[in-house]
Amino acid sequence: MTSPTSDLPEATEHRLEELEKGLFTSDLSVNEFLLIKEVGFHPVGFVMGSSIYHTGLQTRKWSQSQELTKLTEAMYNARELAMTRMEEEANELGADGVVGVRLDVNYYEWGKDAAEFIAVGTAVKAEDGVSRRNQLGKPFTSDLSGQDFWTLRQTGYLPQGLVMGTCVYHIAHRGLGQTLGTTGQNVELPNFTQALYEARELAMTRMQDEAARLGASGIVGVRLEEKSHQWGSHTIEFLALGTAVTKTSENVTLPTPTTIISLDN
């Protein structure tokens, strides 16, 4: 299953070869492992991708709300690089998908503009031999846990891909006049509200666009994260993340849940 366009390091290829011979590695817990088996998938390998990325500079105007396109681009590119490398490893293993994907950003002492973007997950393959890859012929990716994956499969849905949208936004400071004018009053701060709204909308829209490209019918488990990273309090990254899904079979086998009251505290 070697693809000619693969740019993975040689050592990676060697490690993956060993995995193809039947050994699997997985960061799934035992419960997750058993649940994945329960829905007819077998883990094939612990896959990862990473990129250490230097983000450029962009000037911000103190009193202007604006998207910092250069930083947005950097956050996008770096994550995309890490994700693609992880997908490539999964592809190399002949996997149908990757579950339990975690995306992390780590800042180290190499300089405050350099960060490591890392994506890790467990590649899985259907045991019945039928391909469960997404529309683009690539392994699907999903940040759902083993438990969530089991539940999703019981309802006839299949993940198509981990989709994300990001937007780095600079929120304008309020002028002294404005601050004094509102002291002692109950009043909405429209410039803050508007800026936050716009940034969130941009991130969400981008995420939905990615899902549309995969031909998905919905996005589940969406998380909206707001982080300032190293940029100070008025520059915020809005990151929307979720798993795009489509319905692949009509029969819902999810049993009626039993309600329990646990007696431990």
Work out which of 6, 37, 192, 213 binds another protein, going by CB under 8 A.
Answer: 37
Work out which of 4, 177, 190, 257 binds another protein, going by CB under 8 A.
Answer: 257
Contact status: 48 vs another protein (CB under 8 A):
yes
Contact status: 167 vs another protein (CB under 8 A):
no
Contact status: 224 vs another protein (CB under 8 A):
no
Contact status: 4 vs another protein (CB under 8 A):
no
Distance between CA atoms of 117 and 103, rounded to whole angstroms? 7
- The nearest distance, CB 212 to another protein, in angstroms, is 26
Work out which of 3, 20, 54, 212 binds another protein, going by CB under 8 A.
Answer: 54
Contact status: 74 vs another protein (CB under 8 A):
yes
Contact status: 129 vs another protein (CB under 8 A):
no
Nearest CA among 135, 143, 139, 118 for reference residue 216: 135
Q: For the chain, how many residues are written? A: 265
Contact status: 25 vs another protein (CB under 8 A):
yes
Contact status: 27 vs another protein (CB under 8 A):
yes
- The nearest distance, CB 134 to another protein, in angstroms, is 25
Size of residue set near another protein by CB under 8 A:
60
Contact status: 66 vs another protein (CB under 8 A):
no
Contact status: 103 vs another protein (CB under 8 A):
no
Give, in order, the Cα–Cα distances in Å from 148 to each of 2, 56, 100, 144: 31, 38, 9, 6
Give the binding range for another protein (CB under 8 A) out of 175-183, 196-204, 219-227, 252-260.
252-260
Query: Would you tell me the crossing angle of helices 69-92 and 10-20 to the nearest 10 degrees?
Result: 40
Distance between CA atoms of 114 and 100, rounded to whole angstroms? 26
- Which residues, in sequence order, are CB contacts of 41 under 8 Å at separation 6+? 96, 124, 125, 126, 127
Question: Is the four-CA dihedral 133, 28, 23, 47 of positive or negative sign?
Answer: positive
* C-alpha angle 178-184-185 in degrees, rounded to nearest 5: 75
- Residue whose structure tokens are 């990129």: 51
Distance between CA atoms of 232 and 236, rounded to whole angstroms? 8
- The nearest distance, CB 5 to another protein, in angstroms, is 18
**Which residues contact another protein (rule: CB under 8 A)?**
9, 11-12, 14-15, 18-19, 22-31, 33-35, 37-38, 43, 46, 48, 50-57, 70, 73-74, 77-78, 81, 106, 108-111, 113-114, 116, 118, 120, 150-151, 254-262
